């Protein structure tokens, strides 16, 4: 059970305090309710580029990192399709430094031209490092475009193309900031060795005076239900053929999310999972196989991907995946197999909760999803999933008309 | 109105009195030493069996890592599937890892399941069978993985730079190619297993929420086996560094970035300069605010990240700079790295920057000591390197007291460009 207190400031900033006196550290985590799904289709990659700019100095503080490091702290941030999260951890005695820094960049950035110029280049190098200069690096770029016709999940967080990042202007940056980086679009989590009273006092002092801004009303184009299978073929300079299949699933807040999550565990959650045992070990068709989903806020995708053993045809590989799915659809799973994936989920959560930084980030994410207390309800929701539900869900999701397949062939 | 230009008061982390939580030690009946840290709020624990079975001990390439990887692929009574299913049913993770001197079998589990799981770990380390079919699948999949990896410039660069510094026969410098994987056979694995696991030298580290009868449980399962403590010093393996210092490799005709590695030999943790250089390295390229990051990423935008670090080896080490930079700015990047070296050799680090680095390091250590696994990580490093807790406390004193003059002297001694191997792989 993770204890916390929750309150809001007058400007709409939601604050969650999770006290843990067993650690000498404190964490300040600020999550903004903006991700790459909120971008203009002609200016993709912006939410992530913006994350970089958040370290380029704020209105009253020329340097973000330096004072934090001086206070013995460390920090980082990430951007996803759904959210942008900033976190720092420092010795609890020095926590006010984090309040000072985070509140100033919520108040306003410095909007430095130099910072924009440099970070455009840095992000382009990041783009190259992860998505161009790696074999199979463009898979998600292609798969998102195949699987989504309408929803902004059809582009990656890094951006659709380098050019979008290269073309970003300071005007774009300012507009984005004042649209999304307002207190009413954010959640502040304070965790670790700090009392609720002290956290409240500091939150009021540093974040209280920031103007509320206008709430951002998200109104994204929704993905229509897919009605026919989609397939695409790629040929590239890679050493092995690979197969990627995706099916549309549910949003993060749908109760069927837990069923789907357990399905991925059944299929590839370890050395005794079905796809690994059957397709890698017994039939030797794939050298690796994975089934996963990204836990996206809006309805996302369940993916099965693997690299084919040399000499195996794409048809044979695909047929074998389909056969495993059919088996699951027809005969379901045993109570013991269900118990196994639930136990695994339980221990995974226990390990994740060991770190105060993880707990802070989870609380922030759950609060954006609607209720920080989800952190304490998750396990029961997994426990409640039945074998019957799981089998039914397999029959709904793994429908040919709901599938997107990318055949990734090695040249020559 | 608050004055936002004024930073809040901070307590300098250098004034912190950092303590490494002590580690209990005891010995099993067969002499195997156990180190235990009982801490943490969650009902979880981690047990690591560290065998002296790393690639230093193999006579044929890739045998140590293959033996280690296949420990979970079948015993005389359980198939690979059954072993995996057993651990997974209890929500536990049983992992293997092979390093240069050591090879590890680790178990992470909810504390309540320990007694159901360690007998199966025992089976793996005493009764693995290395079936032909399992080995064949392993070889095939390893080769496929390698085929993908050799397309990556960072992978190629990582292998080559180690081979330049240590020599390609040295445990720290050698790497496997497809033909080495092809040459693996059951007999070699079985031999290695019998010598280095079944009758091997072992040390055990346990951390987390520990049961009261931990010593009895471990002794009952592992204490009667023909294992022992590592008594001999590991034989010194002489390095044979390459004579050529500069390399350029074109690995991918379509590459848009170069993987850059600069490295020089460096002594191990017993050398008096080691802990001092950890401070100098932090200034140079060891954290986000480092000289290399500030210049090459935050000012020039040549790369997404650039880091320097000292490799964590027992015998010999290397001081390395690593980055991926745009194809057109690779040379400019190495020039900037050398410029930063020169600056450290010639100009004293000012007190403000030095205090920042001291505070940063102290704060990071404080954060790193948060949690039982992290505390054990520190102890493991101390024990495996043949050091004592003094090493931890001396490092803290070094961070607090090292002077700018000493750091400049170290830079003069170690940060000379002609001492470095330079490699760019595109």
Residues A263 and A356 in one domain: yes
CB A363 within 8 A of CB B108: no
CB atoms A94 and B10 under 8 Å: yes
Residues A22 and A73 in one domain: yes
Q: Map residue B296 onto helix, strand or coil.
A: helix
CB atoms A129 and B304 under 8 Å: yes
Range of the domain at A23: 5-207
The reply to whether A51 belongs to the active site is yes
The whole-angstrom distance between residue A61's C-alpha and the CA centroid of its chain comes to 30
Q: Is residue A128 part of a domain?
A: yes
CB atoms A288 and B145 under 8 Å: yes
pLDDT band at B369 (very low <50, low <70, confident <90, very high): confident
**Residue B208 scores a pLDDT above 80:** yes
Tell me how close the Cα of B113 comes to any Cα of chain A, in angstroms.
11
- Residue B101: count other Cβ atoms within 10 Å of its Cβ: 22
pLDDT band at B40 (very low <50, low <70, confident <90, very high): confident
CB A404 within 8 A of CB A246: yes
Rounded to the nearest 5 degrees, what angle is found at the Cα of B68, between the Cα atoms of A281 and B203? Answer: 145
Q: What residues of A are in contact with residue B16 (Cβ under 8 Å)?
A: 72, 91
Residues A200 and A280 in one domain: no
- Where is B203: in which H helix or E strand? strand B202-208
Of A73, A89, A287, the CB nearest to B144: A287
Which of A174, A207, A240 represents a domain boundary (last residue)? A207
pLDDT band at A129 (very low <50, low <70, confident <90, very high): confident
Average pLDDT value for residue range A194-201: 97
CB atoms B153 and A133 under 8 Å: yes
Residues A43 and A179 in one domain: yes
- Residue B246: count other Cβ atoms within 10 Å of its Cβ: 11
Rounded to the nearest 5 degrees, what angle is found at the Cα of A397, between the Cα atoms of A391 and A401? Answer: 135
Nearest to A158 by CA among A174, A178, A138, A180: A138
**Residue B142 scores a pLDDT above 90:** yes
pLDDT band at A22 (very low <50, low <70, confident <90, very high): confident
Task: Sort strands A230-236 and A403-410 into parallel, antiparallel or unpaired.
Answer: parallel
pLDDT band at B42 (very low <50, low <70, confident <90, very high): confident
Q: In sequence order, what are the beta bridge partners of B317?
A: B266
pLDDT band at B13 (very low <50, low <70, confident <90, very high): confident
CB B303 within 8 A of CB B261: no
Q: Which residues contact A171 (CB under 8 A, 6 or more apart)?
A: none
Q: What residues of B are in contact with residue A207 (Cβ under 8 Å)?
A: none
- Residue A282: count other Cβ atoms within 10 Å of its Cβ: 12
CB atoms B359 and A307 under 8 Å: no
Which of A153, A172, A207 represents a domain boundary (last residue)? A207
Q: Is residue A222 part of a domain?
A: no
CB atoms B301 and A121 under 8 Å: yes
Residue A1: closest CA among chain B residues belongs to which residue? B42
Q: Map residue B370 onto helix, strand or coil.
A: coil
The number of folded domains in chain A is 2
Task: Sort strands B33-38 and B24-27 into parallel, antiparallel or unpaired.
Answer: antiparallel
The whole-angstrom distance between residue A309's C-alpha and the CA centroid of its chain comes to 31
pLDDT tens-digit readout, B176-202: 999 999 999 999 999 999 999 999 999
CB B50 within 8 A of CB B104: yes
Average pLDDT, chain A: 95
Lookup: tokens for B117: 């799981």
Helix count (H) and strand count (E) of chain B? 15, 11
CB A86 within 8 A of CB A54: yes
DSSP letter for each residue of B9-61: P---GGG----PPP-EEEE-TTS-EEEEEE--SSSEEEEEEEES-SGGG-SST
- Give the model's pLDDT for residue B247: 97
Q: Is residue A224 part of a domain?
A: no
CB atoms B88 and A270 under 8 Å: yes
DSSP 8-state class, residue B298: T
Of A60, A128, A284, the CB nearest to B137: A284
CB atoms B304 and A74 under 8 Å: no
- Give the model's pLDDT for residue A311: 95
Lookup: tokens for A106: 């919520």
Q: How far is B186 from B63, CA to CA, in rounded Å?
A: 10
Residue B325: closest CA among chain A residues belongs to which residue? A125
Lookup: tokens for A232: 């695409």
Q: How far is B90 from B93, CA to CA, in rounded Å?
A: 9
Q: Is residue A223 part of a domain?
A: no
CB B323 within 8 A of CB B266: no
Average pLDDT value for residue range B152-168: 96
Q: How far is A405 from A304, CA to CA, in rounded Å?
A: 10
Q: What residues of A are in contact with residue B137 (Cβ under 8 Å)?
A: 280-281, 284
Nearest to B296 by CA among B350, B265, B260: B260
Nearest to B374 by CA among A382, A58, A355, A106: A355
CB B184 within 8 A of CB B68: no
Residues A202 and A247 in one domain: no
pLDDT band at B16 (very low <50, low <70, confident <90, very high): confident
Rounded to the nearest 5 degrees, what angle is found at the Cα of B106, between the Cα atoms of B100 and B108? Answer: 145
pTM for the full predicted model:
0.94
DSSP 8-state class, residue B328: G
- Give the model's pLDDT for residue B367: 86
Q: Is residue A366 part of a domain?
A: yes
Tell me how close the Cα of B228 comes to any Cα of chain A, in angstroms.
31
Task: Sort strands B103-110 and B246-249 into parallel, antiparallel or unpaired.
Answer: unpaired
Write the secondary structure of chain A as one string of H (helix), E (strand) and C (coil).
CCCCEEEECCCCCEEEEEECCCCCEEEEEEEECCCHHHCCCCCCCHHHHHHHHCCCCECCCCCCHHHHHHCCCEEEEEECCCCEEEEEEEEHHHHHHHHHHHHHHHHCECCCHHHHHHHHHHHHHHHHHHHHCCCCCCHHHHHHHHHCCCCHHHCCCCCCCHHHHHCCCHHHHHHHHHHHCCHHHEEEEEEECCCHHHHHHHHHHHHCCCCCCCCCCCCCCCCCCCCCCEEEEEEECCCCCEEEEEEECCCCCCCHHHHHHHHHHHHHCCCCCHHHHHHHHHCCCEEEEEEEECCCCCCCEEEEEEEECCCCCHHHHHHHHHHHHHHHHHHCCCHHHHHHHHHHHHHHHHHHCCCHHHHHHHHHHHHHHCCCCHHHHHHHHHHCCCHHHHHHHHHHHCCHHHEEEEEEEECC
Tell me how close the Cα of B308 comes to any Cα of chain A, in angstroms.
17
User: Quick one: residue B371, left, alpha or beta (phi over 0 = left, psi -120 to 50 = alpha)?
Assistant: left
**CA-only gyration radius of chain B, Å:** 24
Average pLDDT, chain B: 95
Residues A126 and A243 in one domain: no
Residues A188 and A249 in one domain: no
- Give the model's pLDDT for residue A1: 87
Q: Hey, what domains does chain B have and what are their CATH numbers? A: 31-222 (3.30.830.10), 246-425 (3.30.830.10)
Query: CA dist B289 to A67, B172, B285, B421, Å?
Result: 10, 30, 8, 25
Q: Is residue A393 part of a domain?
A: yes
Tell me how close the Cα of B356 comes to any Cα of chain A, in angstroms.
4
Lookup: tokens for B2: 């608050």
Tell me how close the Cα of B231 comes to any Cα of chain A, in angstroms.
35
Given A5, A39, A51, A335, the catalytic residue: A51
**Residue A251 scores a pLDDT above 80:** yes
Residues A174 and A277 in one domain: no
CB B137 within 8 A of CB A284: yes
CB atoms B363 and A71 under 8 Å: yes
pLDDT band at A320 (very low <50, low <70, confident <90, very high): very high
- Where is B214: in which H helix or E strand? helix B214-222
Task: Sort strands B93-98 and A14-19 into parallel, antiparallel or unpaired.
Answer: unpaired
Give the CATH number, domain containing residue A41: 3.30.830.10
pLDDT tens-digit readout, A337-372: 999 999 999 999 999 988 899 999 999 999 999 999
**Residue A412 scores a pLDDT above 80:** no
pLDDT band at B15 (very low <50, low <70, confident <90, very high): confident
A156 phi and psi angles, rounded to 5 deg? -85, 160
Residues A182 and A284 in one domain: no
Interface test with A, best of B37, B45, B356 (most A CBs within 10 A): B356
Q: What residues of B are in contact with residue A288 (Cβ under 8 Å)?
A: 141, 144-145
Give this complex's ipTM. 0.92
DSSP 8-state class, residue B419: G
A·B CB contacts under 8 A: 219
Q: Is residue A219 part of a domain?
A: no
Residues A265 and A165 in one domain: no
Residues A178 and A49 in one domain: yes
Q: How far is B11 from B13, CA to CA, in rounded Å?
A: 6
Q: Worst-scoring range by mean pLDDT, A273-277, A295-299, A307-311, B228-232?
A: B228-232
Which of A207, A239, A259 represents a domain boundary (last residue)? A207
DSSP 8-state class, residue B350: P
Residues A22 and A115 in one domain: yes
């Amino acid at each position: 059970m993770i204890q916390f207190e929750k309150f809001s400031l007058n400007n709409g900033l939601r604050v969650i305090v999770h006290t843990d006196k067993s650690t000498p550290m404190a964490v300040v985590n600020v999550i903004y309710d903006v991700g790459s799904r909120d971008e203009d289709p002609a200016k993709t990659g912006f939410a992530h580029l913006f994350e970089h700019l958040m370290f380029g100095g704020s209105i009253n503080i020329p340097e973000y990192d330096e004072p934090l490091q001086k206070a013995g702290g460390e920090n980082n941030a990430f951007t996803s399709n759904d959210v942008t999260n900033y976190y720092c951890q420092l010795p609890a005695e020095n926590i006010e430094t984090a309040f000072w820094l985070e509140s100033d960049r919520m108040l306003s950035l410095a909007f430095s031209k130099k910072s924009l110029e440099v970070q455009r280049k840095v992000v382009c190098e990041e783009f190259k490092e992860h998505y161009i200069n790696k074999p199979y690096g463009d898979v998600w770029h292609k798969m998102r475009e195949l699987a989504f016709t309408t929803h902004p999940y059809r582009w990656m967080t890094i951006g659709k193309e380098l050019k979008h990042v290269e073309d970003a202007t300071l005007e774009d940056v300012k507009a984005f900031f004042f649209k999304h980086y307002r207190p009413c679009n954010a959640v502040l989590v304070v965790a670790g060795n700090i009392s609720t009273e002290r956290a409240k006092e500091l939150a009021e002092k540093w974040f209280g005076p920031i103007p509320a801004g206008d709430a951002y009303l998200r109104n994204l184009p929704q993905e229509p239900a897919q009605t026919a299978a989609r397939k695409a073929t790629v040929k590239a300079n890679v050493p092995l053929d690979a197969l990627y299949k995706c099916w549309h699933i549910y949003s993060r807040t749908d109760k069927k999310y837990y069923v789907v999550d357990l399905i991925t565990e059944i299929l590839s959650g370890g050395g005794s999972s079905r796809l690994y045992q059957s397709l890698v070990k017994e039939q030797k068709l794939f050298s690796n196989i994975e089934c996963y989903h990204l836990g996206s806020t809006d309805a996302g995708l369940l993916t099965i991907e693997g690299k084919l053993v040399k000499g195996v045809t794409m048809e044979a590989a695909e047929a074998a995946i389909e056969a495993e799915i059919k088996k699951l659809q027809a005969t379901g799973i045993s109570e013991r197999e269900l118990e196994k994936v639930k136990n695994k989920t339980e221990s995974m959560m226990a390990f994740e909760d060991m770190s105060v930084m993880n707990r802070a980030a989870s609380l922030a994410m759950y609060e954006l999803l609607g209720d920080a207390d989800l952190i304490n309800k998750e396990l029961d929701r997994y426990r409640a999933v039945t074998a019957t539900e799981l089998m039914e869900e397999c029959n709904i999701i793994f429908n040919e008309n709901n599938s997107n397949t990318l055949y990734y062939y090695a040249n020559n | 109105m608050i004055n936002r230009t004024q930073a809040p008061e901070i307590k300098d982390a250098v004034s912190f009195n950092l303590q490494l939580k002590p580690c209990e030690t005891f010995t099993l009946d067969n002499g195997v030493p156990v180190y235990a840290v009982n801490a943490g709020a969650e009902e979880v624990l981690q047990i690591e069996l560290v065998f002296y079975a790393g690639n230093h001990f193999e006579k044929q390439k890739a045998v140590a890592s293959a033996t280690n990887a296949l420990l979970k692929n079948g015993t005389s009574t359980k198939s690979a599937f059954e072993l995996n299913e057993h651990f997974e049913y209890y929500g536990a993770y049983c992992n293997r890892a092979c390093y240069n001197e050591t090879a590890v079998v680790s178990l992470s589990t909810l504390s309540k399941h320990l007694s159901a799981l360690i007998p199966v770990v025992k089976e793996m380390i005493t009764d693995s069978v290395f079936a032909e079919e399992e080995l064949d699948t392993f070889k095939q999949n390893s080769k496929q993985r390698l085929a993908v990896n050799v397309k990556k410039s960072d992978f190629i660069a990582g292998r080559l730079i180690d081979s330049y510094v240590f020599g390609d026969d040295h445990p720290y410098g050698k790497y496997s190619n497809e033909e080495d994987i092809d040459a693996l056979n059951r007999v070699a694995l079985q031999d290695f297993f019998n010598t280095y696991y079944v009758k091997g030298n072992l040390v055990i580290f346990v951390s987390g929420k520990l049961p009261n009868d931990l010593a009895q449980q471990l002794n009952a399962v592992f204490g009667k086996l023909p294992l022992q403590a590592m008594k001999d010093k590991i034989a010194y393996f002489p390095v044979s560094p390459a004579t050529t210092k500069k390399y350029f490799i074109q690995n991918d005709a379509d590459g848009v970035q170069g993987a850059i590695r600069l490295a020089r030999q460096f002594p191990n943790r017993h050398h008096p300069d080691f802990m001092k250089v950890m401070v100098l390295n932090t200034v140079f390229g060891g954290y986000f605010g480092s000289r290399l990051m500030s210049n090459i990423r935050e000012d020039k935008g040549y790369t997404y990240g650039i880091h320097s670090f000292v490799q964590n080896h027992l015998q010999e080490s290397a001081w390395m700079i690593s980055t991926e930079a745009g194809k057109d700015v690779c040379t400019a990047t190495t020039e900037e790295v050398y410029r930063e070296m020169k600056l450290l050799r010639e100009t004293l680090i000012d007190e403000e920057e030095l205090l920042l680095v001291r505070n940063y390091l102290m704060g990071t250590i404080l954060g790193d000591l948060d949690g039982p696994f992290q505390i054990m990580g520190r102890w493991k490093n101390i024990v495996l390197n043949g050091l004592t807790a003094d090493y931890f406390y001396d490092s803290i004193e070094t961070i607090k007291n090292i002077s700018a003059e000493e750091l400049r002297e170290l830079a003069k001694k170690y940060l000379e460009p002609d001492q470095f191997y330079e490699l760019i792989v595109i």
